[in-house]
Amino acid sequence: MQRNNNHTTIVTIEKVIDETPTVRTLVFSDDVMSNVLPGQFAMVWIPGVNELPMSVMISKEPGKAAFTVRKHGPASTGLFNILEGQQIGIRGPYGNSFDLKEGKLLLVGGGTGLVPMMRLLTFVKPTDDVTVLIGAKSKDEVFFEDLANNLLENNPHKVIVSTDDGSYGEKGFVTDLVEKLVSKSHFDGVYVCGPEIMMYKTVQSAHSRKMFVQASLERMMKCGVGICGSCCVGEDLVCRDGTVFDGQHLSTNKEFGHFYRNKAGILENY
């Protein structure tokens, strides 16, 4: 019988990979999650702790998927601390996915925003010329550089890392690098996921030059199915209308890049 996306499925964590001191990837077996599209997400239940929306990470083994989590608040720290052999609940996949163009592509990921970018890389064609930008605060927080290079080994490609403090790769914000690249050459598709200000600047840089750009948004999310309303951005609901939105659409959204809602639903400035 086909699984109902809304029903919680319990899975066992089979492998925990330390990516950085604060980022871990948790691998589990699940056919549905192993086949999700880039941009889609799952609601992940950490029993006794919380439930949070997570982009679904790829795994090299068939039938397996993963979550890559940075410990931050109580919920993400709860997931970060899950050990091999422990169980979590998942429901989904929810949301739409990136619309993959062909030709010259630019993928921009900041922190765990790299997760949907890595999944997107598994969908590029061998002829696509792909540039991946990885943004991090410092050398300690860089991850997925080798993975991106491995996934693109048959493509013309570049993987460029930038760190805010210059301790690794290029120095500066990844958005400065985006601006530099899109001002020099045309990209057929630009894709971004990461902190919202990073996405806002990337969308502006590409959209103002009439390039096709998409961003995968993140918001406070409680239900994941369009009931609670917590994840609204302007008139859009990230869970039902997104997570992926076109630059064209985002350029008309009054809240994107400017405001977020707190747990009580009050708009606050970035």
Partner 1 sequence: MNQLLYSKLSSLFKVELSLATSIGQIQLDRPVMLASGILGISLDVFNRLYRSGVGAVVTKSLSTEPWEGYPNPTIFSVKGGGWINAVGLSNPGATNFAKMIEPNQDVPIIVSLVGSIPEDFETMIKQFENCKVTAYELNLSCPHVAKVGLEVGDDPELVKKIVTTAKNTTDVPIIAKVGLGTTHYLNTVSAAIDSGIDAITAINTVRAMAIDVETQRPILSNKFGGLSGTPIKPIALRCVYEISSKHDIPIIGCGGISTWEDAVEFFLAGASAIQLGSAVGDNWIDVFNDINNGILQYMKRKNYSSIKEMVGLAKKQ
The residues that touch partner 1, with contacts defined as CB under 8 A, are: 4, 6-8, 10, 43, 45, 47-48, 50-52, 74-75, 87, 89, 91, 222-230, 232, 234-235, 237, 240, 254, 261-267
Closest contact distance (angstroms) between CB of 266 and partner 1 is 4
230 close to 222: Cβ distance less than 8 angstroms = yes
The one-letter code for the residue type at 74 is P
Between 10 and 165, name the residue whose CB sits nearer to partner 1.
10
Closest contact distance (angstroms) between CB of 71 and partner 1 is 17
Residue 108, CA distances (Å) to 52, 140, 174, 225, 264 in order: 23, 19, 8, 27, 31
Closest contact distance (angstroms) between CB of 9 and partner 1 is 10
| Strand runs labelled E in the chain | 9-20, 23-29, 41-46, 50-55, 64-70, 87-94, 104-110, 129-136, 157-163, 170-171, 189-193, 213-216, 232-233, 236-237, 244-246, 259-261, 267-269
Between 40 and 175, name the residue whose CB sits nearer to partner 1.
40
Between 137 and 254, name the residue whose CB sits nearer to partner 1.
254
Backbone CA torsion sign across 146, 152, 158, 163: negative
Closest contact distance (angstroms) between CB of 93 and partner 1 is 14
Between 79 and 106, name the residue whose CB sits nearer to partner 1.
79
Cα–Cα distance for residue pair 62/51, rounded to 1 Å: 26
Closest contact distance (angstroms) between CB of 30 and partner 1 is 14
Closest contact distance (angstroms) between CB of 202 and partner 1 is 24
Backbone CA torsion sign across 220, 36, 196, 111: positive
Between 74 and 103, name the residue whose CB sits nearer to partner 1.
74
Rg of the chain, C-alpha, whole Å: 18
Between 86 and 149, name the residue whose CB sits nearer to partner 1.
86
